[in-house]
Structure 1
């Protein structure tokens, strides 16, 4: 089963139990965006939010969702299980679930925000286990019952490749200076084709997929003066991040 189909199956298997567990005033969507701040936009695989967060003709919900669910892929595993948890914690997302498939079957990593504003150790539900959760609603999660057993996928190695052409240069007509963060309105007009997922982290575009040096060159032309970083060896699944360039004189 290819990643796209695997991803769709895992997300769709969660839609019904989450939809049945929602409380009045709560709604859920798949593949929708959350505008956490002016320079941070995240596209959750599935989210639960308050109905008043999506009033009007918006392509995102305003503020932190009540629950963010990410389904791991080869390109997203490192971020979903690490830095994305830190990001959601910083923006006070009450509950964060990560669905991962390993050789021994599907598992769900559950993180709930504590009174101290941190997720803590979290809980991993796998191997025939189940857990009764309370945030953002009461629900029992039993991966073996919710998901079919599907083949695992190996995690990519992590290293970094950073472009060296970082001299400050003029930005394009709809971009701020290369040393400044990119805000959502400017970012929305420059999404590349071929990305598995596109997000904006603290003013830095993040593209999920398989990238190599040719993609770095294209990104350098698209985002002149900025630092283009591959977060894994070229050609392997992972992310390409666009960082601010050096400040001008």
Structure 2
């Protein structure tokens, strides 16, 4: 089963029970684009939000939803359980569910926002178990009933699927300076064609897939002056993050006029690469 088909089956299993349990003033959507701020946009596998949060575009949500659900894969697991969880926490998403498949049977992990503004694991519901929740609506989670139609073997093959929503776009606004955050209007015209999922965190594009040094070179050309970071070994599933370039400070040229000079050597600015664990600051 491919990654995309696995997501579709797992999400489809949740749509009906979540839709039936949601309150009258609540709405649910799959594959929704959640816009937290002008420089932060994420794509959720399933969300529940207040009716008044619906954006002008179909499937768009303005502000933190009441519930965000992510289905993990080898590509997204480190992010979904780390930086993305921190991102949802920072923006005050009250409930976060993760559907995790490591063998043949999916497990539901439930996080809830506490009074301290931090997520706590409220439940871990394995196959054959059940759990009753009260927020964001009363519901009983029973994985072997929710995912009853799931094939017994669900481990996805390692391949990159191009989402249906990826379409060529006309050129958008120019990119801002390399040390400045990228906003949604500029970023939305530069979707890559081989990403499993694309998001924008605090002005930093995040591409999900299996990337190598060739992809880094392409990204360096597409986002000149910025730092391209592989968050795992080349060729392994994970994310590639585009970070702001070093700030440039004004200096005086020989005529006494302002000129720009990089605050670090040029060879560390354009197309430089860091291979580090996934780390997007959550505060």
The TM-score, its normalising length taken from structure 1, stands at 0.89
Query: What displacement does 1:116 show?
Result: 1.7
Shift of the 101–56 alpha-carbon distance from structure 1 to 2, 3 Å rule, reads: same
Shifted more, 55-64 versus 8-17: the winner is: 55-64
Q: Distance in 2 between matches of 1:213 and 1:141?
A: 42
Query: What displacement does 1:152 show?
Result: 4.0
Shift of the 27–153 alpha-carbon distance from structure 1 to 2, 3 Å rule, reads: same
Shift of the 150–108 alpha-carbon distance from structure 1 to 2, 3 Å rule, reads: farther
Query: Residue 257 of structure 2 corresponds to which residue in structure 1?
Result: none
Structure 1 residue runs of 5 or longer lacking an equivalent are 156-171
8 Å CA contact 1:101, 1:150 repeated in 2: no
Does residue 111 of the first structure (1) align with residue 114 of the second (2)? no
Query: Residue 218 of structure 2 corresponds to which residue in structure 1?
Result: 218
Does residue 91 of the first structure (1) align with residue 91 of the second (2)? yes
8 Å CA contact 1:95, 1:111 repeated in 2: yes
Equivalent runs, 1:1-249 vs 2, <5 Å: 1-57=1-57, 60-103=60-103, 105-147=105-147, 148=150, 149-152=152-155, 174-249=174-249
Query: What displacement does 1:183 show?
Result: 1.1
8 Å CA contact 1:48, 1:68 repeated in 2: yes
Q: Distance in 2 between matches of 1:110 and 1:154?
A: 26
Q: Distance in 2 between matches of 1:106 and 1:194?
A: 27
Shifted more, 119-128 versus 233-242: the winner is: 119-128
The TM-score, its normalising length taken from structure 2, stands at 0.78
Q: Distance in 2 between matches of 1:59 and 1:40?
A: 16
Q: Residue 56 of structure 1 aligns to a residue in which SS?
A: coil
Q: Residue 119 of structure 2 aligns to a residue in which SS?
A: coil
Q: Distance in 1 between matches of 2:64 and 2:37?
A: 9
Shift of the 154–77 alpha-carbon distance from structure 1 to 2, 3 Å rule, reads: farther
Residue by residue over 1:95-150, the C-alpha shift from the partner in whole angstroms, topping out at 9 and shown as x without a partner, is 00000112262101100111221112342111311111111111100111111344
Query: What displacement does 1:55 show?
Result: 4.6
Shifted more, 142-151 versus 196-205: the winner is: 142-151
Q: Residue 214 of structure 1 aligns to a residue in which SS?
A: helix
Shift of the 59–153 alpha-carbon distance from structure 1 to 2, 3 Å rule, reads: closer
Larger Rg: 2
Structure 2 residue runs of 5 or longer lacking an equivalent are 159-171, 250-283
Q: Residue 32 of structure 1 aligns to a residue in which SS?
A: strand
8 Å CA contact 1:226, 1:242 repeated in 2: yes
Q: Distance in 2 between matches of 1:59 and 1:125?
A: 28
Q: Distance in 2 between matches of 1:121 and 1:20?
A: 24
Q: Residue 96 of structure 2 aligns to a residue in which SS?
A: strand
* Residue correspondences, number: 233
